[in-house]
Amino acid sequence: MPKNTRILPKSPRPLVVVLAYDGLCTFEFGVAVEVFGLPRPELGADWYRFAVASVDAGPLRATGGVRLMVDGGLELLAEADIVVVPGWRGSDAPVPEALCTALRAAWARGCRLLSICSGVFVLAATGLLDGRKATTHWRYTDTLRQRFPAIEVLDDVLYHDAGLLLTSAGSAAGIDLCLYLIREDYGLEVANSVARRLVVQPHRDGAQPQQLLRPVARQRESQTLGQLFDFLHQNLTVNHDTASLAKRAGMSPRTFLRRFTDCTGTTPARWILNERLLRARDYLENSPLSVELIAEQTGFGSAALFRHHFRHMYCLSPSQYRKKFMLIAK
């Protein structure tokens, strides 16, 4: 066990282990700490446990000169339910075979492996991504494709879920992937609570492009749209048109559409549909409500329309999704 170690308490809660190494990418590491490592007593006693595993022996210095204390070495991966690989020291930097072996063993017993930004090169080195889809920061996609031709590299998505292997684009997209994981594990409301603490948008779809080549909304308009998002979350069952939303935001319809898309990367109609589907999924996971009642309480109006949109998004009917989720939960 490395000398830079502190004692890790035992607990039955899911254990998230984030890798640390000399030359660590500070931002991506901080994302994992902020999302999974902070105490969140308001979310109950079943919140994730968190630990830091050192890849290297001896003192660790992150980018910017920050020195790190860790909870242990690679032996922690044998206990982990989730392993987070932050940005690696370089796209061409070698990955220790001991790390690859530990990651493959963790994956083989059902542990989820999550990479942020150039952390994908670590997962790629294990061979686990061969024949699978994966993404990374747009600056590294060509390099990833050239170095690991067996991987189907997704050039322009925020994150991708390939079962036990989850990869994200650069930096802030790691937050999106971590929130996605929370939605999968704890449901929509808990993920939204964490997003509020982080002061970030609760949900950006993984298929959203990494680069939105449009100007960012002005600060005043961003505040106005934030109030509008709160209003829409509270009124998802109501039908909204562009004219009424623009009026509420104090903009012309044309300006509203432009600014809304600048802020979210999608149209108001699509945003509302995604939010309704997320809430419906939460009902399917956490309530006994019938499909008909869920359709009514999420604004779809009819069960047929709800089933159509749900199947289109998740490739399963609502009933099939609920059965699958219950099996996983057991």
Specify whether 117 is catalytic: yes
Work out the number of other CB atoms within 10 angstroms of the CB of residue 256: 23
Q: What is the dihedral of CA 146, 147, 148, 153, to 10 degrees?
A: -50
Report the C-alpha gap between 127 and 105 in whole angstroms. Answer: 12
Structure tokens at 196: 């509020």
**How buried is residue 299: exposed, middle or buried, by Cβ count under 10 Å (0-12/13-18/19+)?**
buried
Strands 15-20 and 82-85 come out as parallel
Report the C-alpha gap between 227 and 221 in whole angstroms. Answer: 10
Strands of the 112-116 sheet, one edge to the other:
49-54, 15-20, 82-85, 112-116, 165-168, 159-162
Report the C-alpha gap between 120 and 292 in whole angstroms. Answer: 42
Report the C-alpha gap between 90 and 77 in whole angstroms. Answer: 22
Q: Say which residues have a Cβ less than 8 Å from residue 311's Cβ, sequence separation at least 6.
A: 317
**Residue 98: its H or E element:** helix 97-108
Structure tokens at 117: 């930004």
Catalytic residue among 117, 178, 263, 315: 117
Summarize the chain as % helix, strand, coil (round to 5).
50, 15, 40
Supply the residues annotated as catalytic.
117
